[in-house]
Structure 1
């Protein structure tokens, strides 16, 4: 058992099982905050093209659904055909295979040369260059929650001359008001049963080491859950 401050103990709707609830604290909350920030920076996402990096990831899978629910056109990067199929089932309209094709070139092809209106990003160390190479439209916005490198060189001139913007956030560091807004929106989505939950593997508590190895291997599509 564990005792938590009331603000952190969020009730689940009756029809939401505990495995889905386990996906909410980090993947779900990160996804909904990213979409909230995208809407704040770029306005109503209806009709806008949103590039989701890592569209098949735990966070990206929820972002893709939320962008689609908001009326946006979700396109995204994936690493394999299996991951593309997983993302398409969540609403992804176009999959970009970042390992074998130029992401900026493909995005420009999909947007008649203008780039995406918004990029919701899990790896700024790569996206910083992609945005300056045409993956992001002029006056476009990046919402970023991660990077594979702690120091990132930013090509300043194209960012300046295209008036590009970026908003970073850390899900562990939301203000009380931000957390309240994000939790309320997430609860409504759960209440309305509008989200698909992807459970890639389940383990018992005494298999926790195996669960960690599964996550580190990076081959499982969906969340890894430990059942109590």
Structure 2
């Protein structure tokens, strides 16, 4: 940050390809009531950032127009009514926007201490995926010990998190991925079987591995193109949890009969529009139930690539190419 109170951040010249992004300067934000200002050491790159850059995911009213939804760093200032954290605390958190910058505002309700023994790069890989997986897989879909779950996109940031969390809490995990290398990575993370969707039918494999029963829960980021097959792969009383539409948002000519016959639940959510109180509840459960497992090394963030934030164009290209296994992180050191 310069001496005049400005900071560097990533701006876009217009919606489009990664090349629309560049480094610019703007005033450092000031924390309001219930907020902390974090000096950002690292920030995660996520699919919603790509969608925002392309003009398909506008920030909600009142949120920073700057991209970036998860950060880790040190609290530089805090606003009124913040009692859980102090200046100098090493934290990570789920931002409402503004993460691609040297300083970022975080609602205290969406802020967590960096897990003990973890650096900022590891901590920046946590918030977006852990909030999303916990809310959708555990709170909404109700995954419990002894159940089976199918995780699509097993080597994405969401996928690597979901496989590990599901295994840590006693579920049996199947995962899909697009290459032998990615399938092997899923199995190293704890999947009992990884299915190469380019060569195998995940419905057939799941049915075979479960004695024809199907899985209890599916975490899906593909959407329309998988909808019918997801219904087929679910067991009686199963739940399909949809978190993205990489394969389209509109499913046509779908047979809904399995929903009634098998008493299926179809649910889904997106994190950004949730209220601060909803995110606080997720934060509190993560702090109580997941952070101790991270500190013990039972669960580890999977980081594919670390780049200085000036190389954000390259980071987005890697994300769009889709060959990565785990998270892509920008550093501001």
| C-alpha separation in 2, matches of 1:36 and 1:221 | 23
Which residue, out of 289, 295, 318, partners 1:214? Answer: 318
| TM-aligned CA deviation for residue 90 of structure 1 | 1.4
Which residue pairs with 1:102 in the alignment? Answer: 201
1:183 aligns with 2:287: no
Distance 1:163 1:82, change over 3 A: same
Task: Give the TM-score taking structure 2 as reference length.
Answer: 0.63
| TM-aligned CA deviation for residue 126 of structure 1 | 3.0
1:155 aligns with 2:259: no
| TM-aligned CA deviation for residue 38 of structure 1 | 5.0
Which residue pairs with 1:168 in the alignment? Answer: 268
Residue pair 1:38, 1:118 contacting (<8 A) in 2 also: no
Equivalent residues in 2 for 1:66-81 (5 A)?
66-81=165-180
- SS of residue in 2 equivalent to 1:2: strand
| TM-aligned CA deviation for residue 178 of structure 1 | 3.0
Which residue, out of 114, 126, 137, partners 1:35? Answer: 137
Residue pair 2:176, 2:195 contacting (<8 A) in 1 also: yes
| TM-aligned CA deviation for residue 170 of structure 1 | 0.6
1:139 aligns with 2:237: yes
| C-alpha separation in 2, matches of 1:192 and 1:168 | 26
Q: RMSD value over aligned CA atoms?
A: 1.8
Which residue pairs with 1:201 in the alignment? Answer: 305
Which residue pairs with 1:14 in the alignment? Answer: 116
Indicate the structure with greater strand content: 2
| C-alpha separation in 2, matches of 1:3 and 1:163 | 43
| TM-aligned CA deviation for residue 192 of structure 1 | 3.2
| C-alpha separation in 1, matches of 2:260 and 2:304 | 41
Task: Give the TM-score taking structure 1 as reference length.
Answer: 0.90
Distance 1:90 1:38, change over 3 A: farther
Which residue pairs with 2:12 in the alignment? Answer: none
| C-alpha separation in 2, matches of 1:226 and 1:115 | 39
How many residues are matched?
A: 224
| TM-aligned CA deviation for residue 39 of structure 1 | 5.2
Which residue, out of 7, 17, 25, partners 2:127? Answer: 25
Which residue pairs with 1:227 in the alignment? Answer: 331
Residue pair 1:55, 1:61 contacting (<8 A) in 2 also: yes
Structure 2 unmatched ranges of 5 or more:
1-102
Structure 1 unmatched ranges of 5 or more:
none
